Structure 1
Amino acid sequence: MRVLGVDPGLTRCGIGVVDGGRGRTVTCVGVGVARTPADQELSARLLGVAEAVDEWLDTHRPEVVAIERVFSQHNVRTVMGTAQVSGIVALAAARRGLPVAFHTPSEVKAAISGSGRADKRQVTTMVTKILGLAEAPKPADAADALALAVCHLWRAPMAGRLAEAEAKAAALARNHKARLKDARQAAAQRAARTGGVQR
């Protein structure tokens, strides 16, 4: 499976593509950062990110897009920009019929380093090691994008099995409920035929 990971941001939007092999084998296909000047109009900055994401999607043709889930921060302006970029990336993926997965920073950190509280330096170090890179991806946004892709590759099979188990459990519950309903109706019909006297 090929996953395109995106660490959304207006000034720097990290983009990384990773291929997943058997087991936990992962390979870096490409990594980069889409940048926009802080003094540009918002619409122009969003367009710049959108065009960069389009190019990555069309060039590398991933099967899934993994985006960092926006979480609450003190800087509302930063959160707004990040959320807007996330929407642009999700839209670009949807237009190509690609599934989109969102992962929280703590999910990614836990998947990559074993700790949901790992700092950026630790994540970068682990990403470099896991992917067997000659040097650490820079800036941190690029490493985070690769971490997102790896996180999805490692967690997707487990999430798929969980979803399958939940679907089976729901189907069993529906069948059980239907059988109970049928049994009650049959009992009511028998009671009606015998004048309410149970034998």
Structure 2
Amino acid sequence: MNPSGFGGAAASGVATRILGLDPGLRITGFGLIDSLGSQLRYVASGCIKTRDGELPGRLKTLLDGVREVIATYRPDVVAVEKVFVNVNPQSTLLLGQARGAVICGAVACELPVTEYTALQVKQSVVGYGKAHKEQVQDMVQRLLRLDASPGADAADALACAICHAHGSHGFGGLAGVGARRRGGRALG
């Protein structure tokens, strides 16, 4: 029996486990897939939910939730959807802080993080950068051969992982963890 779940394809390589994250202050979707060549296998998905309350506590919930998902499923890499500019500056700021918390959760676990725009994710998964959420959910269900369509937040996170698996390299990937360099000297 092949433990990777990829049939004979595992003989030619090792699967990469990808954690996709769709950050939100109220609900952060997560989705994990294994990728081996062009083959994708669903592992798990769900949501990290925060309760109403003070911002620092909500951010800690997201940070702890991401770290728990990583400890449970042991991904190799993380793909995160980039912030979009919203007409409401306060909402954009809060979303940016939520993204920061989930990225910190991944980096604290020493995982490489790559970011993708919603346009890149939709283009990679649906073939059309302005696809609707329902189209993304439908394609995620088809690509991962799921019995039912995942919820919107989990589907977006799985789509981000699929985008990474398809080789759509994001802008501003955080390939290194630990000390950063600026002007020839280490920071950190």
User: Normalising by the residue count of structure 1, what TM-score does the alignment of the two structures yield?
Assistant: 0.75
**Matched AA of 1:151:** C
Matching of residue 20 in structure 1 with residue 35 in structure 2: yes
Query: Number of residues paired by the alignment?
Result: 155
- In terms of fraction of residues, the more helix-rich structure is 1
- In terms of fraction of residues, the more strand-rich structure is 2
Equivalence for 1:31: 45
Rg larger in structure: 1
The 5-angstrom pairing of residues 10-89 of structure 1 reads: 10-22=25-37, 24-37=38-51, 39-89=52-102
**Matched AA of 2:34:** D
Deviation at 1:118, TM superposition (A): 0.3
In the alignment, the residues of structure 2 paired with residue 100 and residue 117 of structure 1 have an alpha-carbon distance, to the nearest angstrom, of 24
In the alignment, the residues of structure 2 paired with residue 143 and residue 35 of structure 1 have an alpha-carbon distance, to the nearest angstrom, of 15
Q: RMSD value over aligned CA atoms?
A: 1.4
1:1-20 alpha-carbon deviations (Å, 9 max, x no partner):
11100000011100111110
Q: 1:152 aligns with which of 144, 161, 164?
A: 164
8 A Cα contact 2:140 2:155, kept in partner = yes
Deviation at 1:77, TM superposition (A): 2.1
In the alignment, the residues of structure 1 paired with residue 111 and residue 62 of structure 2 have an alpha-carbon distance, to the nearest angstrom, of 18
User: Normalising by the residue count of structure 2, what TM-score does the alignment of the two structures yield?
Assistant: 0.79
Equivalence for 1:167: none
In the alignment, the residues of structure 1 paired with residue 141 and residue 87 of structure 2 have an alpha-carbon distance, to the nearest angstrom, of 30
In the alignment, the residues of structure 2 paired with residue 15 and residue 67 of structure 1 have an alpha-carbon distance, to the nearest angstrom, of 9
Query: Which runs of 5 or more structure 1 residues have no equivalent in the other structure?
Result: 161-199
- Of all paired residues, the percent bearing the same amino acid is 41
